[in-house]
C-alpha cells in the first residue's frame, strides 16, 4: 500500500497491512465465484471487501462504483481493478482485473469447444433447445431491470422509444444511436438540467462493528491515485502500444481485412460502446458478428449468450464464444487446427474487449473522478442509458423471433419454446429466481422434450 495511505491508518489497522499475495488469492477466488451478472458480482465484492474483510469502507466502495458506472465496459470488473489499484498500485489493479476475467475465459474456451465439436449430439442439442427460450426471457428481464432505474421521466421514455424505432424500423447502427443519445443528453442537460441530473450514490458510511477499513472514508487519496499529467501520458502511451502492437502483428500476418484483424478492430469499438453493461453492447455485437461479418448464425449467437450466462465473470465474456466459434467454423488456421484457431480467436477478442477498461481505470481515474458531478459529463450518460433500454428490447424481440419461429415467419410456431419463455419470465419477474436457476431448469425441460419427441 502507498505510504500516504499507510500513514493515515490507525495502529490497529496498520498492524494488519494487506499483502499483495493475500489480495491476489482473493481476486482469483472472485474470478471463480462471480456468478449473477454485474449486480451479483458487485454484491459479492461488497460483502467480502466492505463487510467481511474491511479492506475498503462503504463510502469509498460506492465512490469507486459510481466512477466505474460512468465508464464504458463491465463495471464489476472495473470495480475490482479500481480497488486493486487503490490497494497495490498499478500492478495490483492489473492483477485484480485479469484474475476477475481469466477463469471465465478458460471455461468459455472449453465450453465453446464442446459446443462446436459435439453440439449436434442429442443431449447437447436438447439442453440448448431449452436454454434458448430462457435467454429471451432473461433479456426481457434485463430490459426491465435497467429501465426501472434509467427511465425516470418522460424525456427518458422518449429517448428509449426513439432508440427502439431507430434500430427496429431503420436498422440504425448502434454507434449512431449512442452518439445521437449523447448529444441529446448534452443539450438536454443545458436546456432542462432537472431531467438529466443523477442522484448521488454517496452517503455516510457506518463502521462495521467499529472496525476501521484499510481504505476508510477519511483516508487521503494515495499518491499513485492523484492526477499527474506525466503519469496520464505514460499510461496512455503504454495502453496505445498494447493495443497497436497486436493490431500491427495481426495486420502483417493476416492483412487488414483478415478475420482476426477485423475481430480486433471490431471488438475494440465494441469495448468503447458498452455504456450500461453487457446487454447494452450485445445488439452492436449482433449487428457486426451476425449481420455484417457473418462470423456466426443468429442461433449460434443465442447459444453463446446462454453459455455466457452460466459461467462466472462478466457477461460480456460472451465475446470469447464469438471469437472461438467464428475462428473454429471458418477454419482461420486451416482445417487441421480448428481448436487452436478458436482458442486464439477467443483470446484475441477478450484482449481487445478488456484492454480499454484497464486504460480507463489506470490512466483516467483521477480525470473522471474530478468530473463526476459535472452535468455536462453525466447528462449524456443518462441519455445513453435510456437509449440502451430501447435497444435491449429490440434484442429481446430478435431472440424471440428466432426462437419461436425457427424457420421464419412462414414456418411453424414453436409452442414448446413459447411455453418455456413464459415460464422463465414468470420465474424471473414473479418469483425472483436467479438466472442460473432459470437456465438449469429450462435446460432440463429442453432435454426431456427432445427425448420425448
* DSSP string covering 255-268: -TTSHHHHHHHHHH
At residue 50, the pLDDT reads 84
Q: Is 197 helix (H, G, I), strand (E, B) or coil?
A: coil
At residue 84, the pLDDT reads 93
Integer Cα distance of 313 and 67 in angstroms: 20
CB 173 within 8 A of CB 387: no
pLDDT category, 35, cuts 50, 70, 90? low
Integer Cα distance of 251 and 79 in angstroms: 33
At residue 343, the pLDDT reads 97
At residue 184, the pLDDT reads 95
Residue 28 has φ and ψ, to the nearest 5°, of -65, -45
Give tens-digit pLDDT for 345-374.
999 999 999 999 999 999 877 766 556 557
At residue 448, the pLDDT reads 94
Region of poorest pLDDT, from 11-15, 171-175, 238-242:
11-15
At residue 15, the pLDDT reads 37
Region of poorest pLDDT, from 3-17, 129-143, 228-242, 297-311:
3-17
At residue 198, the pLDDT reads 61
pLDDT category, 215, cuts 50, 70, 90? confident
pLDDT category, 38, cuts 50, 70, 90? low
The answer, yes or no, to whether residue 221 has pLDDT greater than 60, is yes
CB 45 within 8 A of CB 118: no
pLDDT category, 226, cuts 50, 70, 90? confident
Integer Cα distance of 152 and 141 in angstroms: 18
3-state secondary structure 397-446: HHHHHHHHCCCCCCCCCCHHHHHHHHHHHHHHHCCCCCHHHHHHHHHHHH
Domain count for the chain, please give it. Answer: 1
Q: What is the mean pLDDT of residues 403-416?
A: 89
Integer Cα distance of 237 and 399 in angstroms: 41
At residue 132, the pLDDT reads 84
Integer Cα distance of 286 and 139 in angstroms: 14
pLDDT category, 260, cuts 50, 70, 90? very high
At residue 351, the pLDDT reads 97
Greater model confidence, 300 or 212: 300
Please report, rounded to a whole number, the percentage of residues in the chain having pLDDT higher than 90.
40
pLDDT category, 207, cuts 50, 70, 90? very low
Q: What is the mean pLDDT of residues 339-346?
A: 96
pLDDT category, 73, cuts 50, 70, 90? confident
At residue 202, the pLDDT reads 39
At residue 162, the pLDDT reads 96
Please report, rounded to a whole number, the percentage of residues in the chain having pLDDT higher than 70.
88
Cα–chain-centroid distance for residue 289?
Answer: 17
Cα–chain-centroid distance for residue 375?
Answer: 25
At residue 40, the pLDDT reads 61
Most confident of 37-51, 52-66, 299-313, 315-329: 315-329
The answer, yes or no, to whether residue 413 has pLDDT greater than 60, is yes
CB 111 within 8 A of CB 307: yes
Residue 362 has φ and ψ, to the nearest 5°, of -75, -35
Question: The pTM is what?
Answer: 0.72
At residue 112, the pLDDT reads 93
At residue 135, the pLDDT reads 81
The answer, yes or no, to whether residue 1 has pLDDT greater than 60, is no
The answer, yes or no, to whether residue 95 has pLDDT greater than 80, is yes
Integer Cα distance of 77 and 34 in angstroms: 10
Residue 215's CB is within 10 A of a number of other CB atoms, namely: 27
Residue 301's CB is within 10 A of a number of other CB atoms, namely: 24
**CA proximity to 324, closest of 113, 183, 49:** 113
- Exposure string for 58-75, b = 16+ CB within 10 A, e = fewer: bbbbbbbbbbbbbbbbbb
Alpha carbon separation from 92 to 19, 42, 86, 141, 173 (Å, rounded) = 10, 19, 8, 35, 37
Q: Which residue has the cell 412462414?
A: 410
Integer Cα distance of 269 and 292 in angstroms: 14
At residue 369, the pLDDT reads 52
Q: What is the mean pLDDT of residues 373-397?
A: 81
What value does the mean pLDDT of the chain take? 83
At residue 193, the pLDDT reads 92
The answer, yes or no, to whether residue 94 has pLDDT greater than 60, is yes
Integer Cα distance of 289 and 304 in angstroms: 12
CB 42 within 8 A of CB 35: no
Q: What is the mean pLDDT of residues 95-116?
A: 93
Range of the domain at 447: 3-452
Amino acid at each position: 500500500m502507498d505510504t500516504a495511505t499507510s500513514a493515515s491508518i490507525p495502529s490497529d489497522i496498520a498492524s494488519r497491512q494487506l499483502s499483495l499475495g493475500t489480495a491476489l488469492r482473493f481476486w482469483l477466488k472472485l474470478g471463480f465465484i462471480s456468478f449473477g451478472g454485474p449486480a451479483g458480482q458487485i454484491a459479492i465484492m461488497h460483502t467480502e471487501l466492505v463487510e467481511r474483510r474491511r479492506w475498503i469502507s462503504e463510502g469509498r466502495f460506492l465512490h469507486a462504483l459510481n466512477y466505474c458506472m460512468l465508464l464504458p465496459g463491465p463495471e464489476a470488473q472495473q470495480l475490482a481493478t479500481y480497488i486493486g489499484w487503490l490497494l497495490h498500485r498499478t500492478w495490483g489493479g492489473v492483477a485484480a482485473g485479469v484474475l476477475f476475467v481469466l477463469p471465465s475465459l478458460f471455461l468459455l474456451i472449453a465450453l465453446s469447444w464442446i459446443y462446436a465439436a459435439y453440439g449436434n449430439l442429442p443431449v447437447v442439442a436438447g439442453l440448448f433447445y431449452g436454454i434458448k427460450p430462457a435467454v429471451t426471457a432473461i433479456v426481457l428481464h434485463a430490459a426491465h431491470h435497467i429501465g426501472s432505474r434509467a427511465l425516470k421521466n418522460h424525456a427518458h421514455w422518449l429517448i428509449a422509444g426513439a432508440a427502439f424505432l431507430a434500430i427496429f424500423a431503420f436498422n440504425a447502427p448502434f454507434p449512431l444511436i449512442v452518439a445521437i443519445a449523447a448529444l441529446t443528453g448534452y443539450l438536454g442537460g443545458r436546456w432542462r438540467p432537472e431531467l438529466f441530473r443523477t442522484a448521488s450514490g454517496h452517503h455516510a458510511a457506518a463502521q462495521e462493528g467499529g472496525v476501521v477499513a484499510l481504505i476508510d472514508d477519511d483516508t487521503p487519496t494515495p499518491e499513485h491515485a492523484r492526477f499527474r499529467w506525466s503519469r496520464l501520458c505514460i499510461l496512455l502511451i503504454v495502453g496505445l502500444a498494447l493495443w497497436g502492437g497486436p493490431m500491427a502483428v495481426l495486420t502483417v500476418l493476416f492483412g487488414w481485412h483478415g478475420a482476426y484483424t477485423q475481430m480486433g478492430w471490431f471488438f475494440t469499438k465494441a469495448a468503447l460502446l458498452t455504456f450500461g453493461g453487457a446487454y447494452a453492447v450485445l445488439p452492436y455485437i449482433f449487428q457486426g458478428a451476425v449481420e455484417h461479418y457473418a462470423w456466426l448464425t443468429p442461433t449460434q449467437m443465442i447459444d453463446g449468450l446462454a453459455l455466457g450466462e452460466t459461467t462466472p465473470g462478466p457477461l460480456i465474456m460472451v465475446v470469447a464464444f464469438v471469437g472461438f466459434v467464428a475462428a473454429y467454423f471458418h477454419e482461420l488456421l486451416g482445417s487441421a487446427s480448428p481448436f487452436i484457431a478458436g482458442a486464439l480467436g477467443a483470446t484475441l477478442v477478450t484482449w481487445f474487449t478488456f484492454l480499454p477498461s484497464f486504460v480507463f481505470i489506470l490512466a483516467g481515474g483521477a480525470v473522471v473522478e474530478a468530473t463526476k458531478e459535472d452535468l455536462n459529463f453525466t447528462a449524456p450518460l443518462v441519455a445513453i442509458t435510456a437509449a440502451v433500454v430501447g435497444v435491449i428490447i429490440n434484442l429481446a424481440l430478435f431472440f424471440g423471433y428466432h426462437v419461436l419461429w425457427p424457420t421464419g415467419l412462414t414456418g411453424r410456431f414453436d409452442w414448446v419454446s413459447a411455453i418455456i419463455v413464459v415460464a422463465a419470465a414468470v420465474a424471473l419477474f414473479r418469483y425472483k429466481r436467479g438466472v442460473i436457476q432459470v437456465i438449469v431448469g429450462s435446460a432440463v425441460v429442453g432435454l426431456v422434450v427432445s427425448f420425448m419427441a
